[in-house]
Amino acid sequence: MPASTIEDSALPRLLVSVRDPAEAEAARLAGADLIDAKDPGRGALGALDPVVVREILVRVAGAAQTSAVADPVATGVAAMAATGVDWVKTGLDADGRRTIAARAELAAAAPGRLIAVLFAEDGPAAALVPELARAGFAGAMIDTAGKGGARLPDLAGPEDLAAFTAACRRHGLMSGLAGSLRVIDIPNLLGHGSDYLGFRGGLCRDFDRRNGIDPLRIAEALRVLRPSRRDAA
């Protein structure tokens, strides 16, 4: 389906990952739908100190949904949930995916608010969605573990991504797609039906996730994500 014919209600929203309160405020002012707190210096899913996350929430001031990465242990998830973020994200590697009790323990640490992050490098994820729903997760995202150049579309085919988001819809889970995405990837991902598309490096200066967020790139991503609003302006 051409992007220009998709209704706003069917479009994914923009998740922007930030590392500090200043970036959070820049993302809020630029119009990000969900502001996600994480430490890009600690890999794909580095958790910030909960104190920093609380400062980020003050800057967001309720103007956007919020999430924060937590270490994949129940104590880490609970500590991040206690900051007051709307959603807590934690990674599940290939071993963690197979441990039913471990998944349920993580979900119980942030009831109704935990998002599982699955890595594209581990293969198709659609079959895992029913188990995540049974464990009590609120949603699931696919991301890339490596940040060395390969983007999500390089590692996961469109059929696998569409199957993942469809499984999330069937089981009542929020869904997201991320992984070194750039604005040029948005048109090819619009039709998969995800709730969010997640960005960090693709919205930073020089496309380097260690650099600061560029508000102009956030605005560009929103123009592509919301074509009907742009055309009506």
Catalytic residue selected from 13, 38, 103, 192? 38
Contact status, residue 168 vs residue 174, Cβ threshold 8 Å: yes
Q: Is 89 a catalytic residue?
A: yes
The DSSP letter of residue 150 is -
Q: How many whole angstroms separate alpha carbon 143 and alpha carbon 39? A: 15
Task: Classify strands 174-178 and 196-199 as parallel, antiparallel or unpaired.
Answer: parallel
Which amino acid, one-letter code, is at 203?
L
The partner residues of 203 in beta bridges, in order of sequence, read: none
Taking alpha carbons only, the member of 46, 55, 106, 105 closest to residue 85 is 55
Catalytic residue selected from 13, 59, 89, 97? 89
Strands (E), the chain: 13-18, 34-37, 65-69, 87-92, 114-119, 139-143, 174-178, 196-199
Q: Is 147 a catalytic residue?
A: no
Which amino acid, one-letter code, is at 230?
R
Which positions are catalytic? 38, 89
